[in-house]
Amino acid sequence: MRKKNQRKSKFWILLLTVAVIIFAYNTNLALNAQSLFSKIGAKAESIPLLTVASDSAVSVPLGNLYSSNAILVRLDNHSVLMQKDSKETVYPASLTKIMTAIVAIEKLPDLQKKVALPNSMFQKLFKADASMAGFKPDEKVRAIDLLYGVMLPSGAECCLGLADHIAGSEQKFVEIMNQKAVVLGMSNTHFTNSTGLQDDNHYTTVKDLSILLSYALQNTTFRNIFTAARYSIAPTNKHPNGITFQNTMFKNITNPVVNGGKILGGKTGYTVEAGLCLASLAQKNGREYILVTTGAKGNHESEQYNLDDAYTVYSKLGK
């Protein structure tokens, strides 16, 4: 009887030992798998593919993009076709002016009305080395001409002139910008100025910027400005022959055609902290797409890597 009990005990001990070994093996396997996925996640920039719509059947390694953040959206149904750290907080630089322009358009009942550009605001902008459209202190300019000055040459004096005219101060105008961001669902965006000058509390994401641009392009006036390569303003008290603006994006593009499609318009941006940025619109195969990128290396004097990324992405659409 005792031997029989001993055999039973040995059997249960052996069974328990086998169970422990199997559990340990599976646990180790799971940990190894978890470790592997962690390593893959840590190197996500070089591994994921830029996947374009199923009707395009094209993929491009995200590691080929110079920009640290990117999002590609099909405009008719707002489907996201590609994204790279699209929800990461970034500095928008002059892409801020997309919001400045659409808010001004919606707030101004008469775009032919003239707006005065006071001398006081110029000193602040000169000191900050802000990009300027070329207007002079005390110049009186039509609102529509200031809007083209905001978007094409990225004129900071145009932003402040419109902000003061509409809200009484840039600070109050920025409050309207932030309110608009909330209404549009730009949940990770906060503006502190109308120009995009560097400020740690002035931030957004490329996803939020794609929401903004998708909305703004529904406005005919904004779309006309956004897609203009050149524009000449009416004569003013300081410029009797007017001024001709050139879009900063088109200025650096020799040919807007991309594999049967075409880049229709865009807005560039740059600060040291933000890198080279671009929000653009393109058409291929009868469809429109927007691409927003930030954080590309380089500067105004270097190769425009933000434009290189636009060509890379748009060229693959529909292939």
| Active centre residues (catalytic) | 94, 97, 154
Contacts of 20 (CB under 8 A, 6+ apart): none
- Are 266 and 36 in contact by the 8 Å Cβ rule? The answer is no
Q: CA-to-CA distance for 316 and 284, rounded, in angstroms? A: 10
**Residue with token string 């069974």:** 15
| Cα(56)–Cα(315) distance, integer angstroms | 11
Q: What's the rounded Cα separation, in Å, for the pair 150 and 36? A: 49
Closest CA to 111 of 101, 121, 119, 120: 101
* Gap between the Cα atoms of 138 and 117, Å rounded: 5
Pairing of strands 257-258, 244-246: unpaired
For residues 48, 52, 55, 57, the Cα torsion angle rounded to the nearest 10 degrees is -50
The pair of three-digit structure tokens given for residue 54, joined into one six-digit string: 């199923």
CA atoms within 13 A on the CB side of 267: 34
